[in-house]
Amino acid sequence: MSFSLEVKEELSKIAPKNKMGALVEIAAILNFSKSLNKKNCLVYSEYSGVIDFLLDYLPMEINNISPLILNTSKNPKRKNDIVYFLYAKNDNDFNLIKNIFLSDNFIKQYDLDEDSENRISFLRGAFLACGSMNDPNKEYQLEFILNNNDQLNILSRVLSFYNFSFKTIERKNYFVLYVKDSECIEDILTLMGATKSSLSIMQIKIMKNVRNKINRVTNCETANIDKTISASYKQIKNIDYLIENGVFETLPDNLKKTAKIRKKYPEMSLKEIANKLGENVTKSCINHRLNKISKIADLSRKENK
């Protein structure tokens, strides 16, 4: 199951707190679902939980309505997936539902400017209808795909109450409102009631940060090892030159001891060489000695030209 469907599954299992909450959520699902020109079709969705929610709560809010009709078919875009369709049984039921829930003034009818609980129910229903969420392991993005500019204005107005940062674009025949900031996405999911999904994103972020830190440390250590090997190669080359040209035995004892350790242990760092000598010498002292050996070798090369 995709992360987007996991979010919708979590949201669809949240029971409305009261009658108004159920009405707002049903209205948001019906208003914000993709339009479909099929006779008496109320909604269609790739997620069965949306249909189950309507089957549970819609008959409770309308008296004397005939049982709703559920149909399914294969998704033409993804043949292994199913699309779910919910129909009113007849024209009278369809028109009754339309008159009750399909509003021209959603903000005013459901008091979204004043009632925070209604706003939360609205956001939950809108996400169930037209929301999606990318896999946070790959990318942080939550979006709503809207049928028209009126829906975009309503959703933007509701999200603005919470100072959420979002952007909008037009994509083909739709309007898209999207959020890329991971903390903002976590806040929206938590507000709608998808706390488990919000915590999942937080955990993924922590794991990403840990992996990135490990990679940085590993890269730094690799760079240091490469640097040590490169320096060691040059130092040993100078030591071999001094030995081959009879200069090595003329060196002071401290330089000869350091050179012998470097030649025997080419992989050692300066600090490890200092510890190996055991003469209370420092890393800086070892570096100074090896630089001095290199200068002597360079001077000897010039004299032998």
The more confident residue out of 120 and 73 is 120
Q: Is the pLDDT score of 256 beyond 80?
A: yes
Query: 41: part of which helix (H) or strand (E)?
Result: strand 41-45
Asked if 165 and 179 count as a contact pair (C-beta separation under 8 A), the reply is yes
Query: Which burial class, exposed, middle or buried, applies to 61 when counting CB atoms under 10 A from its CB (0-12, 13-18, 19+)?
Result: middle
> Quick one: pLDDT at residue 185?
93
> Quick one: pLDDT at residue 38?
78
Most confident of 13-17, 55-59, 186-190: 186-190
Residue 282 in tokens: 């420092």
Asked if 204 and 132 count as a contact pair (C-beta separation under 8 A), the reply is no
- The fold for domain 3-193 equals Endonuclease I-creI (3.10.28)
Q: What is the 3-state secondary structure (H, E, C) of 183-251?
A: HHHHHHHHHHCCHHHHHHHHHHHHHHHHHHHHHHHHHHHHHHHHHHHHHHHHHHHHHHHHHHCCCHHHC
Rounded alpha-carbon distances, angstroms, from residue 209 to 137, 161, 199, 215: 12, 31, 15, 10
Q: Is 35 helix (H, G, I), strand (E, B) or coil?
A: coil
% of the chain beyond a pLDDT of 90: 27
Phi and psi at 115, nearest 5°, equal -100, 110
> Quick one: pLDDT at residue 36?
62
> Quick one: pLDDT at residue 78?
62
> Quick one: pLDDT at residue 223?
77
Residue 255 in tokens: 């330089």
Q: Is 303 helix (H, G, I), strand (E, B) or coil?
A: helix
Mean pLDDT, residues 44-67 taken together: 83
User: DSSP states of 60-85 as a string?
Assistant: HHSTTPPPPEEEEEE-SSSTTSEEEE
pTM reported for the whole predicted model: 0.70
CA–CA separation, 140 vs 166, rounded Å? 13
Mean pLDDT, residues 42-65 taken together: 83
Mean pLDDT, residues 63-91 taken together: 79
Contacts 24+ apart (CB under 8 A), 285-288: 286/258
> Quick one: pLDDT at residue 76?
62
Average pLDDT, rounded, for the chain: 86
Least confident of 63-72, 171-180, 293-302: 63-72
pLDDT in tens, 188-224: 999 999 999 999 998 888 888 878 887 787 777 777 7
Which string of b and e fits 218-238 if b means at least 16 CB within 10 Å? eeeeeeeeeebeebbeebeeb
Phi and psi at 161, nearest 5°, equal -60, -30
> Quick one: pLDDT at residue 263?
84
Q: Is the pLDDT score of 107 beyond 80?
A: no
Closest CA to 128 of 54, 40, 21, 38: 54
- Kindly report the length of the chain: 305
The structural domains of the chain, with segments of one domain joined by +, span: 3-193, 211-304
pLDDT in tens, 21-50: 888 999 999 888 876 667 888 888 888 888
Asked if 143 and 131 count as a contact pair (C-beta separation under 8 A), the reply is yes
> Quick one: pLDDT at residue 119?
92
> Quick one: pLDDT at residue 102?
76
Q: Is the pLDDT score of 225 beyond 80?
A: no
The more confident residue out of 143 and 225 is 143
Rounded alpha-carbon distances, angstroms, from residue 35 to 40, 97, 103, 174, 260: 12, 15, 15, 11, 82
